[in-house]
Amino acid sequence: MADPILKVEDLTKSFGGVVATDQFFFDIHQGEIHAIIGPNGAGKTTLLAQVSGMLKPDSGRILFDGQDITGLSAAERSHLGLARSFQITSVFRHFSALQNVALAIQAHQGHSFRFWKPAAKDSSLTEPAMEILSDLGLADRANILADNLSHGEKRQLEVAMALATDPKLLLLDEPTAGMGAEDSARIREFLGGLKGRHSMLLIEHDMDTVFSLADRVTVLVYGRGIATGTPEEVRGNAEVRAAYLGEDDAAHA
Amino acid sequence: MELTRLKSWLLAIGFVVLVAVPPLVTALDETFYITLISRVMIFAIAALSLDIILGFGGMISFGHAAYLGLGSYAVGILAFHEITNGWLQLFVAIGGSAVVAFIIGAICLRTSGIYFIMITLAMTQLLFFIGISLETYGGDDGLPTDRSEFAAFIDLGNEWILFYLILGFLVLCMYISWRLINSRFGMVIRGCHENEARMQAIGFPTYRYKLLAFVISGSMCGIAGFLLANLTEFVTPEFMHWFRSGEIMIMVLVGGMGTLFGPVVGAFAFLLFEEIISGFTENWPVIFGPLLVLLVLFAKQGVWGLLPKSKAGDG
Ligand SMILES: Nc1ncnc2c1ncn2[C@@H]1O[C@H](COP(=O)(O)OP(=O)(O)OP(=O)(O)O)[C@@H](O)[C@H]1O
Ligand SMILES: [Mg+2]
């Protein structure tokens, strides 16, 4: 069988006394959508930050497509085919939506030591950027400053920027966070449409999204994986119910 | 960045007025203004160059006078050794500034925030003290120098010609900066200012781009130093004093950080204001200080930023 696209081995990260990732093992198969769920503060974002290279683990290994990437920078990982979207919207606020996506595309078109030609008039950047914006339903918002987009649109832009680097593995940190039901349904449908083209690590609180999209689900509590399985298996797991789903149902009721 | 029609017009009018300055003030028998405006244009280049890293790159360099000093010492020291060829001096001014900017940048860019400011400041003070200790070249008394020699038709001994040379460099630097800021490279620099973590996440190794921006900015300021030595026919460590760095930064703030051409306006506003007010009172900073505070409070993007923006929200 092919290498998993991502393999995390014995990963540990603590902040002072808080162990945010605790001897965590985990893998994502090629083409799989793997969801990670867990209560607030479980260490989901911390895990993603380590996989994407923005945070250095205390110990453990991360393998991407069979290659040990633990020591690589975030930029290097991006070029191998990893892309991350952020839980807290992290776009270029004073750039237009189009510029945001174009910049992500530019990052993957060789070096940017190009000093003369205006980037805004470079169709090799703007055309593919426009295409991605259209895919996410943002075409008519292309020239609006990111700062002036609605919350839902900013979340869509988050995903657009991650996608623009044409990654093998998408790391999505609560892509529908704070979105209305309609917008989040659209994102869910959109992500479903990407299935097979990109492997995905999906962090999500919204159970509808998790159970409709994920091939497998891992439940994270206090930095530890307490269960991994198909959505049905996980839903049926008593420990999970106690640790997480019950609490989540209460919170979302 | 796009320029609004209003701003394009203002720049065109400004250019025409500058072209008209030498004949006009000569006719009025006030040739002192040729020197004054020449000086202002030189600082406009310095402020413009600082804005590339400060306004666009978000790198708060409190040591930009270093390159003003280096550029001028390139003229002074070479002329002292009887190398008066202007092209060569200019080359050394730019190259020397680039090398020093590379070293300072390589160190400073490993830090951020207040440390970055402090280290750029400390590095420049170091250069200042080196300047003072160069006894051969006048130490803290400075060093009188001859003007650079170009081909016969560019005779810098003529104040008019020097004026137009400086104007030419100003326009050239403005054009180069304009292309730079709108290029792919410029987008990377601006992106680093906006959100460096995201830049890295989408695949940019940001350090090398910021370092090159730092070098370009320093080199451009080296040109200003080259011109300043020619204008004053004198080089002194004072050109590298932190006070001078502060002044250049104030010009950027007054004109509008991150507006590219604002700092050029800022240099005019600051130096002309200083000129006029200091005629009335020696304590002109007492008046200027509060005005600056008001400006920064109510016009975050300086005087240039008060003008209407283009649709894309900048320019
Ligand atoms: N930079 C940091 N410094 C100190 N503690 C941190 C830091 N980042 C995260 N933590 C702590 O690590 C733990 C895990 O945080 P993390 O943000 O990864 O949780 P999460 O599962 O993403 O939560 P949420 O569902 O709220 O997004 C928390 O206790 C948090 O307070
Ligand atoms: Mg989180």
The verdict on A70 and A139 lying in the same domain is: no
Phi, psi of B313 (to 5 degrees): 95, 0
Q: Using the CB atoms, write b or e for B294-312: b if 16+ within 10 Å.
A: ebeeeeebbbbbebebeeb
- A87 assigned to some structural domain: no
Which numbered ligand comes closest to the C-alpha of A15?
A: 1
What CATH number did the domain enclosing A40 receive?
3.40.50.300
| Residue A222 belongs to a domain | yes
pLDDT at B297: 79
The whole-number pLDDT of residue A37 equals 93
β-pairing, A6-15 vs A18-28, is antiparallel
The pLDDT of residue B312 is above 60: no
Provide, as residue numbers in chain B, all residues whose Cβ is less than 8 Å from the Cβ of A51. none
CB distance B187–A119 less than 8 Å? yes
Distance (Å) of CA B160 to CA A184, B16, B20: 67, 15, 11
Q: Does residue A117 form part of some domain?
A: yes
Residues A51 and A174 in one domain: yes
Whether residues A14 and A67 fall in one domain = yes
Option in B179, B202, B205 nearest A116 (CB): B179
Choice among A73-82, B9-18, B280-289, B306-315 with the minimum mean pLDDT: B306-315
pLDDT at A200: 96
Among the ranges given (A65-79, A116-130, B142-156, B246-260), the one the predictor scored with the smallest mean pLDDT: B142-156
Residue A191 in any domain: the answer is no
In a domain, A138, yes or no: yes
Q: Which pLDDT does position B306 carry in this prediction? A: 83
Percent of chain A clearing pLDDT 70 (strictly above): 95
Same domain, A55 and A174: yes
pLDDT on residue B285: 77
Q: Are residues A111 and A74 in the same domain?
A: no
Residues A178 and A243 in one domain: yes
Q: Provide the pLDDT for residue B126.
A: 94
Instruction: Calculate how far, in angstroms, residue A46's C-alpha sits from the geometric centre of ligand 1.
Output: 6
Q: What is the pLDDT of residue A247?
A: 52
Can you tell me the distance from the alpha carbon of B50 to that of B253, in angstroms, rounded to the nearest whole number?
11
Report which protein residue has its CA nearest ligand 1's atom 16: A43
Q: Is the per-residue pLDDT at B33 higher than 80?
A: yes
B187/A99 Cβ within 8 A = yes
Q: Is residue A192 part of a domain?
A: no
Task: Please check whether residues A182 and A108 belong to one and the same domain.
Answer: no
Q: Is residue B95's pLDDT more than 50?
A: yes
Confidence of residue A20 (pLDDT cuts 50, 70, 90): very high
A8: left (phi over 0), alpha (psi -120 to 50) or beta: beta
User: What's the first-to-final CA gap in chain A, in angstroms?
Assistant: 42
Identify all chain A residues contacting B183, using CB atoms and an 8 Å cutoff: 114-119
Q: What is the mean pLDDT of residues B291-305?
A: 82
Is B312 within 8 Å of A145 when comparing Cβ atoms?
yes
Is the predicted pLDDT of residue B305 greater than 90, yes or no? no
ipTM score of the complex? 0.92
Length of chain B in terms of residues written:
315
Nearest to A114 among B184, B195, B312 (CB): B184
Residue A213 lies in a domain: yes
* pLDDT > 90 in chain B, percent: 74
Which residues on chain B are in Cβ contact (under 8 Å) with A96? 312-313
Residue with tokens 């002072």: A16
Distance from the Cα of A76 to chain B's closest Cα (Å) equals: 7
- Contact: A161, B205; criterion CB under 8 Å: no
For residues A75 and A99, state if they share a domain. no
Total count of domains within chain A: 2
Collapse the DSSP code of A82 into the 3-class scheme (helix H, G, I; strand E, B; otherwise coil) and give the result.
strand
How confident is the model at residue B208, as a pLDDT? Answer: 97
Residue A253 confidence (pLDDT): 35
Same domain (yes/no): A180, A238:
yes
> Do A140 and A176 lie in a common domain?
no
Residues A156 and A37 in one domain: no
Are A176 and A127 found together in one domain? Answer: no
Q: Which residues contact B55 (CB under 8 A, 6 or more apart)?
A: B252, B256, B257, B258, B259, B260, B262, B263
Domain enclosing residue A208, as ranges: 1-81+169-186+198-253
Residue A86 belongs to a domain? no
Angstrom distance (rounded) from CA B295 to CA A95: 25
Q: What is the pLDDT of residues A3-12, one digit of tens each?
A: 899 999 999 9
